[in-house]
Amino acid sequence: MDGARLTVRLADRDAMSDWRFSPDGQGAELAWHGPCALTPDSAELLTALEACFALHPAVRSIRVKAPLPRDAALFEQGTLRLAPGEPATAHAALFWQQRAPWLAQHAAQPFPLDYVVTGALRHPRRPPKPTGEVYRRYIPWLQATLSLRVATEALDAARLNQWMNDPVVAHFWEEQGPIDKHRAYLRKQTEDAHTLPLVLCLDGVPFGYVEAYWAREDRIAPFCDARDHDRGWHVLIGDPACRGQHFVSAWMPSVSHFLFLDDPRTQRLVIEPRIDNGKMLRSLARSGYALEKAFDFPHKRAMLGTLSRERFFNEALWLPRSADGLTPAALAPLARPRPSDQLVSTALH
């Protein structure tokens, strides 16, 4: 994007399309300018809309002036809305709920509802686990692409072992030990139907570990009245170059975004950090999580944090928040070192 001009080129083709974007308070206009021999397809339009919403975060809706692709799904899925006598319009809260711009192209549709019993818990059968990269998002203020990929023993056991043995990580996770322990740990998370181990990356370089889980069959369930499709997560950040609020405001909303997109039936996210982890509690509040109550696990005193789907999308919580947690923070690009994959680490759990 250069001023009002936006140029789009998809990775699998050489041709480029030309657009003009005009922000206008709460609304804006995106107009297609060629090439005249062609019309934009759905992928080009989605890419152009993502760029406009990402680079102009105050914009809540965009009028689209273009020969629209012959794709009814854009309207059926809510990407575009059409009112009589008005151009097609994309609304940020609806656009950011679409799966195509951010989830891997092979992302499965929501798994059919089929109840099973695990121990004393009745819950939906969980889908087969994905492999490889599952989520990708460009972060303008980091000038880098953040991604989530599924962790594997072969790729990540040594790295996880080094991170877990850092004293700061060990203080919160209490999982320090030899590499064989962490190989077994990753195997367990991979085989457990209710958890999904993930690696956080910036421009493809790992910097953190996320453990997503279905809350209904997790130990947190009795403390949060877990529903069928509630999700929860734990996290540690392993690269010291990726600390600070600019980075938290990129990866924390992205984790929330991925979990809401992964299954549209997920209406709430839950998390249970240690009650003495003040930095994590402040970051959760800035990212829209309500800190509801303190409670006791056998191994720690925790704070229950929750985030509803409605709040995340209606309040544009994929954006950084200011210290008061009410308005989007500045999105000035941050001069920073690239992820180094160093061994010194910090943990948020």
Which residues are catalytically annotated? 272
Structural element, H or E, at residue 6: strand 5-8
> How many contiguous H segments (helices) and E segments (strands) does the chain have?
10, 16
Query: How far lies 61's CA from each of 21, 68, 93, 311, in Å?
Result: 12, 17, 9, 17
Q: Which residues lie closer than 8 Å to 176 by C-beta, 6 or more apart?
A: 164, 165, 169, 170
Ramachandran assignment for 332, one of left (phi > 0), alpha (psi -120 to 50 degrees), beta (any other): beta
The β-bridge relationship of strands 195-202 and 346-348 is: unpaired
* Angle between the N-to-C axes of helices 245-262 and 278-286, in degrees from 0 to 180, rounded to the nearest 10: 60
Residue 200 CB neighbour total at 10 angstroms: 27
Q: Would you state the structure tokens that stand for residue 1, as one six-digit string?
A: 């994007």
**Whole-number Å distance between alpha carbons of 96 and 52:** 12
Smallest CA-to-CA distance from 210 within 193, 194, 230, 195 is with 195
Please say whether the beta carbons of 198 and 211 come within 8 A.
Answer: yes
Helix (H, G, I), strand (E, B) or coil at 266: coil
DSSP state, residue 155: H
At 7, phi and psi to the nearest 5?
Answer: -110, 130
Q: Are 306 and 270 in contact (CB under 8 A)?
A: yes
Q: What does residue 241 show for φ and ψ, rounded to 5 degrees?
A: -75, -10
Q: For residue 35, is the peptide bond before it cis, meaning its omega torsion is within 30 degrees of 0?
A: yes
